Structure 1
């Protein structure tokens, strides 16, 4: 941990939460992920050893409590001190959406993008019968293809190597789907520009667009200029 060696509360707080990955771990805990494998899903480029070390550090600082779950499995929950970071983390997301440029291609991970979209789905808007989706990212190397099964009772995500029968076929670039999800462009714009191509019955396509929704930060107004 970097020490600023200042009495200022801002400096002392920064020592705790500005370590690489720490804010993102708090983000995952705020979203209800308690098991280490579930936390890791939102942090695909973080090593298991570093995640364990950061969780220990947060526990030592009193931001996280480690509890014994079913069959002795460890579960991590934010303490009152950790929960008070919620408005700070949320404001970081709003600030980033308002002032920062669109993500670069190197910032886009197909697995994380699909996972992030699916975990934000409002299940109340999903049909009782599974809506299956074949997602093909044309500019990704591997993993390139994903198969989703979306219903009110269950959301399944599978990485596949060959097409599987699906209700809707979604072919796009990573940037196009991320752009729609983050609110930079609309579905209509992306489809008109053929950055996203949708196949299947019209009713199923409409249902998919409605249930996928947008990022929680998509409606944050963009700043015209940073000056």
Structure 2
């Protein structure tokens, strides 16, 4: 654990929150991940052993509580102290969207994390009632094993599959990882990317039009769009 050797509560708070990966672990808990494997899907480049360390430390300082879930697996939940970090983490995200933006390097693009983030923010209430939606994503430039994803949405929620679920596909989305990431984060407009042929949506015209309403966007996309508008 970091130790700044100061009594100042800014320093003491930073000792807890500013260790490498810790803010992202808190972000995952804020977004509803409670099982170890789900948390790790949101931080895929973090080793499992380090995640164990960070969760243990957050538990020790009272930010996270570990409870026995159904079956053998434990669940991790934010305590009241952890919930008080929510506006801090969200403010950091909005600050980054406004002042840093994307300007993504190749090493910062991650198809798996992009799909995981999209899954948890799917606007289920905007999808057609009583109808199962299956969206097949095909990335043209993702790493081997990360090029095909299926997002299955019904009234029970959204599930993300790496293997073909064997159901009729509603829409197919073909894109580079960068193009879809830029749409998701608010850097680019979806229809503009379609017109520029950087992304294709294959399927019934009405469903293709409604796709972006179903998917929604990143929690920080509006802030990013506003920053871009202010810079013009």
TM-score by length of 2: 0.90
Query: Which sections of structure 1, spanning at least 5 residues, go unmatched?
Result: none
**Regions of 4+ moved over 3 Å:** none
CA distance in 2, matches of 1:13, 1:218: 28
The residue that corresponds to 2:139 in the other structure is 137
The residue that corresponds to 2:184 in the other structure is 181
Cα deviations across residues 159-184 of structure 1 (Å, max 9, x unaligned)?
248x9852211111111101111111
Q: Give 1:105 shift.
A: 2.2
Q: Give 1:96 shift.
A: 0.7
CA distance in 1, matches of 2:101, 2:28: 23
Paired residues, number: 224
Do the aligned residues in 1 keep the contact of 2:59 with 2:66 (CA within 8 Å)? yes
Do the aligned residues in 2 keep the contact of 1:138 with 1:171 (CA within 8 Å)? yes
The residue that corresponds to 2:227 in the other structure is 222
Cα deviations across residues 63-92 of structure 1 (Å, max 9, x unaligned)?
111112223431111111111111100000
Do the aligned residues in 2 keep the contact of 1:173 with 1:196 (CA within 8 Å)? yes
TM-score by length of 1: 0.92
Which residues in structure 2 correspond to 1:1-227 (within 5 Å)?
Answer: 1-102=1-102, 103-127=104-128, 128-142=130-144, 143-160=146-163, 166-220=169-223, 221-222=226-227
Cα deviations across residues 13-38 of structure 1 (Å, max 9, x unaligned)?
11111001111111111122211112
CA distance in 2, matches of 1:12, 1:153: 42
Do the aligned residues in 2 keep the contact of 1:4 with 1:11 (CA within 8 Å)? yes
Query: Which range is displaced more, 18-27 or 96-105?
Result: 96-105
Root-mean-square deviation over aligned CA pairs: 1.8
Cα deviations across residues 74-122 of structure 1 (Å, max 9, x unaligned)?
1111111111111100000000100114222211111110110111012
Do the aligned residues in 2 keep the contact of 1:123 with 1:151 (CA within 8 Å)? yes
